[in-house]
Structure 1
Amino acid sequence: MKKILLLGIGNVLYADEGVGVHFVNYIKDKYQFNHLDYQLDIIDGGTLAQGLIPIICQYDHLIVVDTVNSVGVGPGEVYFFDFDHAPAEIDWQGSAHEVEMLQTLNMMDIVGDRPHTFVLGVTPTVIEPMVLGLTSHLLNAIPTMEKALLTHMTSLGFTFDCVADITIGQVIPDAYKRGCYVDA
């Protein structure tokens, strides 16, 4: 059975910086995914980066959800791309965890352990210490991110059911309590 990992990256205590974590928690709570040949795990990776290597290398397909910086683009712009073919305007010199995640994926590539990787990213507005939540620009980007992810999962042959009528705002208050986990 092939294994797919949906990995949320970010620091939930720095406002928009936590969007990856909030988004995967939201998707985990809202949807049930089904596939005959694939197993989907959803992990809140926080800011672990290189600490995630032993987990990531067990998968055939990886979807990283995180903030991305892009030259000349306003906040809330959503990107979904194959890591091997990143758009030229993506600037990986953003937050410390973003740079660490890029380095982690590149290290895994060098030793041949990186699964086929996609990035679902959004440009942040506010990266401010001790703010739990997302700005309106990022809250408005969530439906676009959700559509991009569901379209990708469908292209892989997944079906899904909405199992909870929730908003991302409902999962944010408990984000710091969830931590890194694997939902198998």
Structure 2
Amino acid sequence: MTAQVLVLGIGNVLWADEGFGVRCVEALADNWTFDQNVKLLDGGTQGLYLLPFLETADILLVFDAIDYGLAPGTLKIVEGDEVPSFMGAKKMSLHQTGFQDVIATARLMGYCPETLILIGCQPEELEDYGGGLRASVAEQIGPALEIALLQLSELGVQAVPGKGDTRLLADPSILRGAYETGRPSEDAACRIGDDRFFPNGS
């Protein structure tokens, strides 16, 4: 029986480097195509709404921004039972707590994927609402995809160069190219909050 594979990017693209995981799965779909047993999914911050996807997967590969306490842009690969603990060791946002809950619930219900792989990148900047990936993190998308393709190949999952399935990705208006070129400048848009609520209006 052919293994069912879920390649998942999670995070919030609105908060700078938090969008790393989502941008990785977008880049994968832009450049590689897989057999029908492989799903590429932008999981965003959906939390428990992702459970139906895990229910049908034998292999789960996750891209995410993870605060490992390392130098910005550092990649770290975690596998198996260590994945849930790493995703919650130093929570950066609610999406990580949510995904821990997803894995825990899937295990409780008896359908967690047998193979778990996390490809995480240490973020540089998170407090930039509306900002894109910093260079140190964006530069790791390519290496992260190489790691993912190697890991999948070792599991018997092959990819072919070409445009992949984008049906489970975000709306085109917030894909990386449109999002990062279309947002206003820092001078035109406050990235850290609404200045009406700052002390003395500054």
Identity rate, percent: 27
Aligned residues: 166
Work out whether residues 21 and 175 of structure 1, in 8 Å CA contact, stay in contact via their aligned partners in 2: no
- The reply on whether 1:172 has 2:176 as its aligned counterpart is yes
> Which position in structure 1 is the counterpart of 2:162?
163
Encode CA deviations 1:16-42: one digit per residue, 9 max, x unaligned.
1011111101101111124xxx71010
CA contact (8 A) 1:12 1:133 kept: yes
Q: Is the 8 A contact 1:15 1:126 kept in 2?
A: yes
- What is the rounded CA distance, in whole Å, between the counterparts of 1:147 and 1:68 in structure 2? 18
The residue number in structure 1 matching 2:127 is 128
**Partner AA of 1:29 in structure 2:** D
What is the CA-CA distance between 1:159 and the residue it aligns to? Answer: 2.7
SS in 2 for 1:81: strand
Runs of 4+ with >4 A deviation: 86-90
Rounded to whole Å, the distance in 2 between the matches of 1:160 and 1:54 is 24
Q: Which residue number in structure 1 is paired with residue 118 of structure 2?
A: 119
Kept after mapping to 1: 8 A contact 2:78/2:119: yes
Report whether the alignment pairs 1:54 with 2:52.
Answer: yes
What amino acid sits opposite 2:142 in the alignment? Answer: P
Aligned AA for 1:149?
Answer: A
Give the C-alpha shift of residue 128 in structure 1: 2.6
Unaligned 5+ segments in structure 2 are 164-174, 181-202
- In terms of Rg, which structure is larger? 2
> What is the RMSD of the two structures over their aligned residues, measured on CA atoms?
2.4
Corresponding letter in the other structure for 2:73 = G
Secondary structure (helix, strand or coil) at the match of 1:70 reads: coil
Deviation at 1:9, TM superposition (A): 0.4
Distance 1:47 1:74, change over 3 A: same
Partner of 2:43: 45
After superposition, residues 1-184 of structure 1 pair within 5 angstroms as 1-34=2-35, 39-71=37-69, 73-86=70-83, 91-116=89-114, 117-163=116-162, 172-174=176-178
Q: What TM-score, normalized by structure 1, do the two folds share?
A: 0.80
Deviation of residue 54 (structure 1)?
A: 1.6
Give the letter for the 1:162 counterpart: P
CA contact (8 A) 1:17 1:67 kept: yes
Ranked by relative contact order (alpha carbons within 8 Å, sequence separation 6 or more), the top structure is 1
Find the residue that maps to 1:13 and give its secondary structure.
Answer: coil
What amino acid is the match of 2:12? N
State the alpha-carbon separation in 2 of the partners of residues 144 and 172 from structure 1: 17
Deviation at 1:113, TM superposition (A): 1.9
Q: Deviations over 1:85-106 (max 9, x none)?
A: 3598772422211121112212
| Unpaired runs of at least 5, structure 1 | 165-170, 177-184
Name the SS for the 1:5 alignment partner. strand
Normalising by structure 2, what TM-score? 0.73
Report deviation, 1:64.
1.3
Q: Which has the higher strand share?
A: 1
